[in-house]
């Protein structure tokens, strides 16, 4: 599937001027939206990726309770950490898969040939991954309530903000690294090896913030963890946006 | 000239380290609280400083490669990352040896130690990536991007002792420690710097020779009419 098809105006049969034969350049935002729409459409039609990561994350949550035994107090205390670890492990699957779609039939070349900014590919992939992970987080939460017996102590809105910020934080560096590792040997080893050490600050702050939301925040620490998460997002979305065109160039 | 500098760095590094460590063991006073145990500082701190220097060189070389694609910058990046990783690992091991008698444990989850561990794993990932990509052009570009992203950890490691006041002491300054300690530490650090430069020069030459061999191969077969596979003009 190519980006060029739906967004490029059809070439007139007899062009009046040579300029009119050249496809019109597309802005970053509209190219991003077009690519995102394409990715979401593929995802919706197959639903393979979402189903896979949901079952993978559910299995991870279950495994934590098996590994630790039926200690409800311990599970409830550490629920925030398990929740984010499940999302992190599932994110490796989702990220790797997001570029596999493009490597079939050399689709990435088609997308790259479109007269659009290459950074739109980064934005659309990273946004798509963040959306997918956020959906996963929304689905996982009720399961966690059932399995670990957690309750929201402060506000569900806080939890939503943490979820969105955390998924954005995983997907920005993850998309850059997935683009690299999808073309390298041993890609399945490479992506977690590159990604896991990098996202530790994001994982730490998302986990701490989630734990505060679940268990109460008497010292009012939530905002500082959200600040760290936002800073992480700002840095890695910026770096990814700047450097991504260099990764996919030939 | 290059050879002279290289062997000069090795010789001066060994001499300075010998002098620095002798002074550290025999001349500098023992620490008020830790006693003789603190003398490992003259090994541990220079190792960590030079690891940071090497990783900073790696960052600069990576940025430079993205601006000016030259095998020299790529080789410099590879050389400095490897030297930085070795020095950082040695620094972490000496830190653990220091930690056991002073903190009671080899490893604590102190922010300095944790961020340093993250840094070392990041550079391991960087070097693994370099081994897993065969195309020299792609390898150089991708690893530059990974190096730039990984270098965001450097200031975090450096300032971690100030941001989170915890078990690890903050950086000592000449105002807070004995002049004899400062002088000994400086001599050891310059010795380690010379040695690190020597290591980087040796590794840089090897890496550059590897790149030349990689990109020259298709052209050596030029008589067979094969087009050159890679941009060998980058080998200046």
Please state the ipTM of this predicted complex: 0.80
Question: Does residue A210 surpass a pLDDT of 80?
Answer: yes
Residue of chain A whose Cα is closest to the Cα of B133: A184
B58 with B105: CB under 8 angstroms?
A: no
How many angstroms separate the CA of residue B123 from the nearest CA in chain A?
A: 9
- Both tokens of A3, joined, read 């980006």
Answer whether A200 touches B (CB < 8 Å).
yes
Query: For A175-192, what is the mean pLDDT?
Result: 86
Residue B67 burial (10 A CB sphere; 0-12, 13-18, 19+): exposed
Question: Could you say which residues from 214 to 243 on chain A have a Cβ atom under 8 Å away from some Cβ of chain B?
Answer: 235-236, 239, 243
pLDDT per position as a tens digit, A196-206:
999 988 999 99
Q: Which among A176, A190, A196 is the nearest to B128, CB-wise?
A: A190
In sequence order, the 6+-apart residues with CB closer than 8 A to the CB of B57 are: B76, B80, B84, B200
Task: Supply the pLDDT for residue A174.
Answer: 94
Query: For A151-165, what is the mean pLDDT?
Result: 91
Residue count (chain A): 250
Q: Which among A173, A181, A196 is the nearest to B149, CB-wise?
A: A173
pLDDT-based confidence at residue A169 (cuts at 50, 70, 90): very high
Task: Supply the pLDDT for residue B180.
Answer: 85
Question: A246 and B129: CB-CB below 8 Å?
Answer: no
Write out chain B residues lying below 8 Å of A201, CB-based: 156
Task: Supply the pLDDT for residue B134.
Answer: 87
Question: Does residue A4 surpass a pLDDT of 60?
Answer: no
A165 with A210: CB under 8 angstroms?
A: no
State how far the Cα of A106 lies from the Cα of A103, in Å rounded to an integer: 5
Chain A, chain B: beta-carbon pairs less than 8 Å apart: 60
Residue position matching structure tokens 């003259």: B42
Write out chain A residues lying below 8 Å of B145, CB-based: 176, 180, 243, 246-247
Entry pTM: 0.83
Question: Does residue A121 surpass a pLDDT of 80?
Answer: yes
Write out chain B residues lying below 8 Å of A196, CB-based: 121
User: pLDDT 10s digit of each residue in chain B, 236 long?
Assistant: 788 899 999 999 999 999 999 999 998 888 888 888 889 999 999 999 999 999 999 999 999 999 988 999 999 999 999 999 999 999 999 999 999 998 888 888 888 888 889 899 999 999 999 999 888 899 999 999 999 998 988 888 888 777 776 677 777 677 777 888 899 999 999 999 999 999 999 999 999 999 888 887 655 554 444 444 455 556 54
Query: For A125-134, what is the mean pLDDT?
Result: 94
State how far the Cα of A185 lies from the Cα of A183, in Å rounded to an integer: 7
Q: Which among A173, A190, A247 is the nearest to B132, CB-wise?
A: A190
């Amino acid at each position: 599937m190519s980006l060029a098809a739906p967004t490029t105006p059809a070439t007139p049969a007899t062009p009046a001027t040579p300029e009119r034969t050249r496809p019109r350049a597309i802005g970053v935002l509209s190219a991003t939206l077009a690519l995102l729409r394409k990715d979401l459409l593929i995802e919706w039609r197959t639903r393979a990726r979402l189903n896979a990561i949901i079952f993978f994350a559910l299995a991870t949550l279950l495994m934590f309770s098996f590994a630790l035994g039926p200690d409800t107090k311990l599970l409830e205390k550490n629920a925030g950490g398990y929740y984010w670890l499940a999302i992190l492990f599932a994110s490796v699957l989702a990220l790797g898969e997001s570029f596999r779609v493009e490597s079939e039939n050399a689709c990435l070349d088609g997308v790259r040939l479109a007269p659009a900014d290459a950074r739109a590919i980064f934005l659309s992939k990273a946004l798509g991954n963040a959306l997918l992970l956020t959906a996963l987080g929304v689905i996982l939460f009720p399961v966690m309530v059932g399995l670990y017996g957690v309750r929201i102590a402060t506000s569900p809105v806080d939890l939503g903000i943490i979820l969105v910020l955390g998924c954005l934080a995983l997907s920005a560096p993850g998309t850059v690294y997935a683009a690299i590792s999808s073309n390298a040997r041993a890609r399945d080893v490479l992506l977690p090896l590159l990604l896991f050490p990098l996202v530790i600050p994001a994982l730490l702050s998302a986990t701490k913030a989630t734990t505060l939301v679940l268990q109460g925040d008497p010292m009012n620490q939530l905002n500082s963890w959200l600040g760290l998460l936002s800073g992480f997002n700002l840095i890695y979305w910026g770096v990814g946006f700047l450097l991504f065109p260099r990764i996919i160039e030939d | 000239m290059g050879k002279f500098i290289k062997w000069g760095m090795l010789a001066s590094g060994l001499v300075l380290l010998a002098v620095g460590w002798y002074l550290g063991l025999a001349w500098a006073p023992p620490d008020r609280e830790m006693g003789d145990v603190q003398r490992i500082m003259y090994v541990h701190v220079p190792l960590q400083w030079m690891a940071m220097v090497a990783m900073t060189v790696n960052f600069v070389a990576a940025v430079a490669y993205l601006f000016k694609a030259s095998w020299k910058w790529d080789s410099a990046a590879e050389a400095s990352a490897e030297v930085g990783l070795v020095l950082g690992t040695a620094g972490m091991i000496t830190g653990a040896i220091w930690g056991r008698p002073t903190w009671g444990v080899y490893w604590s989850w102190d922010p300095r130690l944790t961020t340093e561990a993250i840094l070392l794993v990041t550079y391991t990932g960087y070097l693994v990536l370099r081994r897993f990509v065969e195309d020299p052009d792609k390898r150089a570009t991708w690893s530059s991007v990974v190096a730039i992203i990984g270098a965001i950890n450097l200031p975090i490691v450096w300032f971690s002792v100030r941001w989170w006041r915890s078990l690890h002491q903050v950086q000592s300054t000449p105002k807070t420690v004995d002049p004899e300690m400062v002088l000994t530490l400086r001599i050891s650090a310059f010795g380690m710097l010379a040695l690190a430069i020597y290591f980087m020069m040796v590794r840089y030459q090897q890496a550059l020779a590897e790149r030349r061999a990689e990109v020259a191969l298709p052209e050596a077969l030029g008589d067979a009419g094969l087009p050159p596979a890679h941009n060998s003009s980058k080998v200046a």
